[in-house]
Amino acid sequence: MKTVMRLSSVLVIMAAIVIPGCKSKAPIPEGEKEVVVPCSGPDYFTNAKVFRANSIGESMDQVTSKKKALTNARNELAQSIQTTVKTVTDNYTNSREMNRREELEQRFEQLNREVVDQTLQGVRTICEKLVQTKEGNYKTYIAIELSADDLVKQYNERLSKDERLKIDYDYEKFKATFDAEMAKREKN
């Protein structure tokens, strides 16, 4: 009984020491203060299921501040998608033995641009905060996301319609390559 009580006491003391240490990482240097940016942080990072981006727009006009934030976030999202799909395409074409590899890569690049432009219409806003600055300007914080599955479906549709690519295209192989790349993003 005494052993159990001692063990309980030790666990309580250890928890009291460890738990506060988990809340703060490193002390903020003197003279500096932490800035919390709405619609940003780990909850708004790309993961294996969705691409995400966030941005800020500021203007004297409320609507313009939102347009700026949304445009910047969409551009960031498009770049992230293009980078990921380029990597997937490279890995996919490298894993396939094809005598028309260069032609295949060029067709994928063209489709990449088309699909990204088309798919950005399916973007969904997951966070939006509007504030007014001391100067009277409007500042919009925004975070958007796009489903990775929706993106792959769009690619599958477009690739399946291209007669030259259809010969060499294997959806399951492409999807597996895409999922592996998305899983890497979640680890980073």
In a domain, 143, yes or no: yes
- As beta bridge partners, residue 125 has 144
What span, in angstroms and rounded, lies between the C-alpha atoms of 186 and 188? 5
In a domain, 30, yes or no: no
What's residue 69's pLDDT? 96
pLDDT above 90: residue 21: no
What's residue 139's pLDDT? 97
What span, in angstroms and rounded, lies between the C-alpha atoms of 175 and 91? 12
In a domain, 29, yes or no: no
The mean-pLDDT minimum among 39-43, 111-115, 147-151 falls in: 111-115
What's residue 55's pLDDT? 96
Considering only residues 34 and 166, tell me which one the structure prediction assigns the higher pLDDT: 34
Q: Which two tokens stand for residue 117?
A: 């432009």
Q: Residues 6 or more apart from 151 whose CB is under 8 A from it? A: 51, 81, 85, 115, 119
Range of the domain at 46: 38-187
Give residue-wise pLDDT tens across range 89-120. 777 666 555 555 666 666 666 666 666 666 67
In this prediction the pTM is 0.70
What span, in angstroms and rounded, lies between the C-alpha atoms of 83 and 178? 12
In a domain, 171, yes or no: yes
pLDDT above 80: residue 149: yes
In a domain, 14, yes or no: no
Query: What is the percent of the chain where pLDDT is above 70?
Result: 66
In a domain, 12, yes or no: no
Work out the burial of residue 67: count CB atoms within 10 Å of its CB; fewer than 13 is exposed, 13-18 middle, 19 or more buried: middle
CB 120 within 8 A of CB 74: yes
Mean pLDDT of the chain: 77
In a domain, 6, yes or no: no
Per-residue pLDDT, averaged over 124-132, amounts to 96
What's residue 119's pLDDT? 67
What's residue 156's pLDDT? 77
What's residue 174's pLDDT? 75
CB 144 within 8 A of CB 123: yes
User: How many domains are contained in the chain?
Assistant: 1
What's residue 144's pLDDT? 96
